[in-house]
Structure 1
Amino acid sequence: MKYRRFAAVDIGTNSIRSIIVQVDANGKYKILDDEKVLVRLGEGLNQTGKLAPAACERAIEALSRQKKIIDGYKVRAIDAVATSAVRKAANGAAFVKEIQEKVGLEINVISGEEEAELAALSAFHNFDLEGVRHLIFDIGGGSLELITAQGSHVEEMRSLELGAVFLTETFLKGDPVPPDDYKKLRKYIRRELKEQYANERGSFQCLIGSGGTVTSIAAMVTALRRERYDSIHGYELLRSEVVHLLAGLVRKTNKERRATPGLNPDRADIIVAGVTVVDELMDFFQVNVLKVNERGIREGLILRGLRKQALLPQERQRRTWRSSILEFARSCHFDEEHCLHVAKLALEIFQSLANRYKMGDREKRLLEAASLMHDVGYFINYSSHHKHSYHLIRHADLFGFTPRERELIANIARYHRKALPKKKHEEFMRLSPEDRLLVSRLGGIVRICDGLDRRRNGVVEAVDCRLDGTTLHLRLVGHDDISVELFGARTKGDLLELAFDLKLAIQGTPSEAGE
């Protein structure tokens, strides 16, 4: 069988999630279905020590529906786990038995450390962490899993009773949140962190978070900033954004929180406790950046299952943003030789402009990425392929890039031909003024370099660049008649001139006598 299908089910304190993937012979997988249902399985658990009958009934109903979906996809294997609520409840074992009898799912109740291990698997798979000391965390309804790591090497894993449902039921019983209750909540979180990590303050370069609280924060922040992305996976949140968001949520009633843009209304009653945990984590460890892992434990289950089936290497091979881009572009059957050459020429021009226009490694990476993928739109159709490139890149799962960076790359590639950026271009105008200028500048470089390889034969071997006042001098070095490429560069230099406020002076070598 060419493709194999696997499913993972995560029975949490607040929600139940199932994911179905299809795997090819090389261990590459794609998501076929991703289902999430908020069931509040842990509702009232702190008071009674047991799972409530109504909560169990909601969970059985949700699992029955998800099992039917999984069966419909004819999966090869299912890995189903239950976490904090079932682990803690006195009737947890009975509930697991009931699921097996009524739904036909075998459930493995995992420890907090196993939860942490799954969250780490997902983080290592999705982020370039080479040489970075970081803290990975997954916040659920009942517990908070924490993993300290250097690169892809785990140092230690811990599980704390700091889940959003548990904290809400324990401390936040008024509406709106009473100030005294909120102070007690913060004091409790700080004490728990201090007891566990007394000597770790300020030792991490970034946090990587997963779970409904983290994705909700990202969704609310992007809504507030009027940013629109298909996925917030990889989104980077600043501490200031978390602080600002939390200050507003604490003052609101539950009804007002339910109307907050970007927030699932069903999560409104527990969101204050969850965001407070994130805020305290960032404050305690003095970390300013939080990277959002939209996938988390359920993806960790898939990765663990694939390794058990020997479909993934036991040792994780390091992924890079460049290899991810080439893999995506090859799946679109791009002209690799042409795109690699455009990227080479683009970087040569970039180097001549970088210092004056204060462009660094980040801008260089965006330019190279857009250069490599500028023509992927051919995969759909030649006509308007620059627009197709925009949409393909925007929806691509590119390793190592934030949603904002994917949007920038897509726009840069979009302007490699045809019309210049205009006010009527909705995708371009959604960007900030700063980002619009960056897209125009980098798009202008890709645009002229596409003209420099007009016949796709690499005849222009290099570009000697010299910036002199308000003029950028480009001397094309070629091994044959380069008259076509010279014409192409002069025709497609319009955006570069406009964006950098420069004049172009383009000359060819003597071998372009064919002009």
Structure 2
Amino acid sequence: MRLGVLDVGSNTVHLLVVDAHPGARPLPAHSHKAELRLAQLLDDDGAIGPDGVGKLIGTVHEALQAAEDKGVEDLLPFATSAVREATNADEVLARVKDETGVELQVLTGEEEARLTFLAARRWFGWSAGKLLVLDIGGGSLEIAYGMDEEPDAAVSLPLGAGRLTAGWLPGDPPDPADVRALRRHVRAEIARTVGEFSRLGTPDHVVATSKTFRQLARISGAARSADGLYVQRELKRRDLEDWVPRLTGMTADERAELPGVSEGRSGQLLAGALVAEAAMDLFGVESAEICPWALREGVILRRLDHMPN
């Protein structure tokens, strides 16, 4: 059957259409996305303003039309941190439902981490052993660890690349003092969680997902996305440590000229790099393998697991 996942994230609203049935891997059929940047549309009270809600509703309508055009039989709509943490989240969800008919399921941060972990586990298989999975989104950082399909530990921290850029790095290029302050903040937040994971033992395989990690790997020399899903890509901590000071001195336009970096994401690449570097350092990770599957695929896999054969 043809499934659609509608992901209302902090940066983008993304419809992923796949052909799928239980026991088989989902095959991508279509992708439709719009950069809405909900996390940056919050007002001083933490609410998504009328313009932001209107843009969200219009974007959902466009995604519904695309889903209909592509023959989607079952739509799985969900929202993550930007909607979850908005002070008017209930009002936003009600308006979206009233005006589009779409009832967005708001995932908790822990659910995001667990579903992303499931996707990574299915991608790498049982032979990968104990997995440590890192995912940097627009609004949050998810960390999960385990041997099975359900992680033994899963946390979500408010360390998304978009959120941190908006709150900590107003300059372009950023003020070095602001970068230093953000670095301290990020490392303090992550360090609080390390003990929860270290007691579980050393992972056999470290996995990184998300656009931020993919772009950081690409500028560090990893293969292009055009080379296909099955090319192994990794991000080494030493390469990342070399890139952070270089990114600090660049403007957003200059970062957009780097290989694999989109104009829409270039402004928040430095914040993402600081989070990635801190996580890899504090968890003692020398290299992380990039996984092409993440939260959206996890949502699809969970849905397939509950379908009758």
Give the TM-score of the pair, scaled to structure 1. 0.56
| Selected match of 2:227 from 226, 229, 244 | 229
2:32 aligned residue: 35
User: Following the alignment from structure 2 to structure 1, what is the Cα–Cα distance between the partners of residues 168 and 231?
Assistant: 31
Q: How far is 1:150 from its partner?
A: 2.7
Secondary structure class of the residue paired with 2:32: strand
The one of 14, 37, 53 equivalent to 1:17 is: 14
Matches within 5 A, 1:145-184: 145-150=142-147, 152=149, 154-184=151-181
Match of 1:209 in 2: 208
SS in 2 for 1:13: coil
Secondary structure at the counterpart of residue 151 of structure 2: strand
Match of 1:299 in 2: 297
| Matched residue SS, 1:197 | helix
Instruction: Give the CA deviation at 1:227.
Output: 9.5
CA distance in 2, matches of 1:29, 1:158: 26
| 1:122 maps onto 2:103 in alignment | no
**1:34-433 equivalence runs, <5 A:** 34-45=31-42, 47-130=44-127, 132-150=129-147, 152=149, 154-198=151-195, 200=197, 203-222=202-221, 229-231=227-229, 234-311=232-309
CA distance, structure 2, for counterparts of residue 46 and residue 142 of structure 1: 15
The one-letter code matched in structure 1 to 2:215 is: S
Secondary structure of 1:45's aligned partner: coil
Q: Is the contact made by 1:46 and 1:170 (CA closer than 8 Å) also made in structure 2?
A: no
More displaced 10-residue stretch of structure 1: 89-98 or 241-250? 241-250
- The one-letter amino acid paired with 1:253 is T
Verify the 8 A CA contact 2:22 2:304 in the aligned structure 1: no
SS of residue paired to 1:175 = coil
What CA deviation, in whole Å up to 9, does each residue of 1:409-462 have, x standing for no partner?
Answer: xxxxxxxxxxxxxxxxxxxxxxxxxxxxxxxxxxxxxxxxxxxxxxxxxxxxxx
Alpha-carbon deviation of 1:179? 1.2
Secondary structure, counterpart of 1:42 in structure 2: helix
1:257 alignment partner AA: R
The CA deviation at 1:188 is 0.8
Alignment of 1:480-495 (within 5 A): none
Counterparts in 2 of 1:119 and 1:227: CA distance versus 1, 3 Å: closer
Percent identity of the aligned residues? 29
3-state SS in 2 of match to 1:218: helix
CA distance in structure 2 between the aligned counterparts of 1:157 and 1:124, rounded to whole angstroms: 14
Do the aligned residues in 1 keep the contact of 2:194 with 2:283 (CA within 8 Å)?
A: no
| Per-residue deviation, 1:98 | 1.8
Bigger Rg, structure 1 or 2: 1
Separation in structure 2 between the aligned mates of residue 113 and residue 199 of structure 1, nearest angstrom: 14
8 A Cα contact 1:204 1:285, kept in partner: no
Distance 1:19 1:131, change over 3 A: closer
- Indicate how the Cα distance of structure 1 residues 232 and 93 shifts in structure 2: closer, same or farther if over 3 A, else same: farther
C-alpha displacement of 1:172? 0.8
Please say if residues 41 and 85 of structure 1, whose CA atoms lie closer than 8 Å, have aligned partners that are also in contact: yes
Size of the alignment, in residue pairs?
A: 307
Native 8 Å contact 2:22 2:307 kept in 1: no
Query: Deviation of residue 211 (structure 1)?
Result: 1.7
For 1:190 and 1:129, the matched residues in 2 are separated by 31
Q: How far off is 1:86 after superposition?
A: 0.6
Query: Match for 2:247: what amino acid?
Result: L
Give the AA of the match of 2:213.
V
Is the contact made by 1:210 and 1:295 (CA closer than 8 Å) also made in structure 2? yes
Deviates more, 1:265-274 or 1:287-296: 287-296
Residue pair 1:171, 1:185 contacting (<8 A) in 2 also = yes
The offset of 1:34, in angstroms, is: 1.9
CA distance in 2, matches of 1:9, 1:274: 24
What SS does the corresponding residue of 1:138 show, helix, strand or coil?
A: strand
Amino acid at match of 1:221: S
| Alignment gaps of 5+ in structure 1 | 312-515
Aligned AA for 1:41?
Answer: L
**SS of 1:177 mapped into structure 2:** coil
Residue 74 of structure 1: CA displacement?
2.6
Contact in 1 for aligned 2:45/2:87 (Cα 8 Å): no
Distance of 1:90 and 1:307 partners within structure 2: 34
Q: Summarize the Cα distance change of 1:144–1:5 in structure 2 as closer, same or farther, 3 Å threshold.
A: same
Rounded Cα–Cα distance in structure 2 between residues aligned with 1:33 and 1:226:
20
Instruction: For CA contacts below 8 A with separation 6 or more, give which structure has more relative contact order.
Output: 2
Indicate the larger mover: 291-300 or 232-241. 232-241
TM-score (norm 2): 0.91
Rounded to whole Å, the distance in 1 between the matches of 2:233 and 2:164 is 26
Shift of 1:50: 0.7
Output one character per residue of 1:216-235: Cα deviation in whole Å (capped at 9) or x when no partner: 22333347x88962347741
SS of corresponding position for 2:152: strand
- What code does the residue aligned with 1:218 have? A
How far apart in 1 are the matches of 2:23 and 2:209? 27
Q: 1:25 to 1:262 in 2, by over 3 A?
A: closer
SS at the partner of 1:67? helix
RMSD after superposition:
2.3
Structure 1 SS opposite 2:241: helix
Distance in 2, matches of 1:267 and 1:220, equals 13
**1: CA distance between counterparts of 2:196 and 2:104?**
38
Q: What displacement does 1:7 show? A: 1.1
